Chains A and B, each alone.
Chain A
Amino acid sequence: MRAVRALTGNAAAAYGVKLCRPEVIPNYPITPQTIIIEQLADFINDGELDADFIPADSEHSAMSIAIGAAATGVRTFTATASHGLALMHEMLYAPPQLRLPILLVDVNRSLGAGSGIWVEYNDSMPERDSGWMQAYAEDAQEVLDMVIQAYRIAEDPRVVLPFMLCLDGFILSHTVERVEVPGQEEVDAFLPRFSPLNRLDPEAPMCMNMAVSPTHAMEMRYQLDRQMEGARQVIAEVDEAFGKAFGRSYGGLLDTYLMEDAEIALITLGTATSTARVAVDELRAEGRKVGLIKLRFMRPFPHEELREAVKGLRALGVFDRSVSFNRFGPVFTEVRSSLYGSGVPITDHIAGIGGRDLKVSTFRDMFALLERSASGGRVRECTWHGLRGEM
Chain B
Amino acid sequence: MAAQTIAEAAILEGRQAQAFPFFGAERRGAPVMAFARIDDRRICDRTQVAEPDMLVVMDASLLDIEPVALGLKKEGCAVVNSPMRPEEIDLGVVARCVSVDATSIALEHLKAPIVNTAILGAMARADAFVSLASIQRAIVNRFGEKLGERAGSINSEAAGAAFERSREGMCRGERKMQRGNAWLPTWQETPPGVALGRWERGGMAVGPGSMRQNMTGTWGTSSPTYTRARCIGCQRCWFICPEGCIRRLEDDSLEFDLRYCKGCGLCAKVCPKEAIAMHRKGAGA
Contact = CB atoms under 8 A, between A and B. Distances in A.
A278 B44 contact: yes
Interface string A63-78: 0000000000000000
Contacts of A359: 47
Contacts of B186: 388-390
A278 B11 CA distance: 22
A247 to B, nearest CB: 15
A360 B47 CA distance: 7
Contacts of B47: 275, 357-360
Interface string A144-175: 00000000000000000000000000110011
A269 to B, nearest CB: 14
Contact of A170 (B22, B138, B187, B188): B22
Given A6-B4, A176-B8, A170 B21 contact: yes
A189 interface: no
Given A6-B4, A117-B26, A178-B11, A171 B44 contact: no
Given A6-B4, A274-B46, A176 B18 contact: yes
A175 B19 contact: yes
A175 B22 CA distance: 10
B46 A387 contact: no
Nearest to B1: A176
A-side binding surface: helix, strand, loop or mixed?
loop
Contacts of A116: 24
Interface in A258-282: 271, 274-275, 277-278
B79 interface: no
Interface in B3-37: 3-4, 7-8, 11-12, 16-22, 24, 26
B184 interface: yes
A174 B18 contact: no
Contacts of B11: 4-6, 178
B46 A177 contact: no
B210 interface: no
Nearest to A275: B46
A113 interface: yes
Interface string B181-197: 00011111100001000
Contacts of B16: 178
A278 B39 CA distance: 14
Contacts of B24: 116
Interface size class of B (residues with CB under 8 A): 20 to 34
A275 B45 contact: yes
B214 interface: no
Contacts of B194: 113-114
A5, A116, A177 — most chain B CB neighbours (10 Å): A177
Nearest to A355: B22
Contacts of A170: 20-22
Given A176-B4, A176-B18, 7 more contacts: A6-B12, A114-B194, A117-B26, A175-B19, A178-B11, A358-B47, A389-B188
A275 B44 CA distance: 6
11 contacts: A6-B17, A6-B141, A8-B4, A113-B194, A114-B194, A117-B26, A170-B21, A175-B20, A176-B8, A359-B47, A390-B188
Given A6-B4, A117-B26, A274-B45, A177 B18 contact: yes
A114 B193 CA distance: 9
A97 interface: no
Nearest to A42: B146
Nearest to A358: B47
B61 interface: no
